[in-house]
Amino acid sequence: MVMPKWEMLSGDTTIVGYPCKKAKTTFRGRTWIVWYAIDIPYHDGPWKLYGLPGLILKANDIKGDFIFNCIGIEKGKMQPIVLRKLKYIKCTPEVLEENIRLSHSNVELFMTKMGYPNIQGFDTNGKPIVHKSHIPCLLEYRLKDKR
């Protein structure tokens, strides 16, 4: 994963009781403004934003399309992370991206490709469900020629 290149900005605020500093980056085609807490020494944040000297508690793109806002911090129960034992399909990042794009553009074809029968679904009024094409947000762009 590529770490964003950060520009430290002047400005400070308090978020959920933590003093925060301001930073800016352009990452994956969007310009982000973030607030991070040096008192929480984790170099992490929402989505793929990370690499600052403290936890990112607020992030938004300058267009206002995306806003991540910390509303509270609680100590967890420290239970181990358990992965379900399922049958997984091995694939490359490129094949995964193709499948994600297909699932957004043609649900029926995606389901068929994944091995599910082509069954017509109906809504609560008995009308056939028509899947509309969607544009996935924040999807990696590995397949440059298929944008």
In 3D, which of 31, 34, 28, 42 has the Cα closest to residue 68?
34
Read off the pTM. 0.63
Summarised one tens digit per residue, pLDDT across range 5-23 is: 999 999 999 999 999 999 9
Residue with tokens 């590995």: 142
Summarised one tens digit per residue, pLDDT across range 75-90 is: 888 888 888 888 777 8
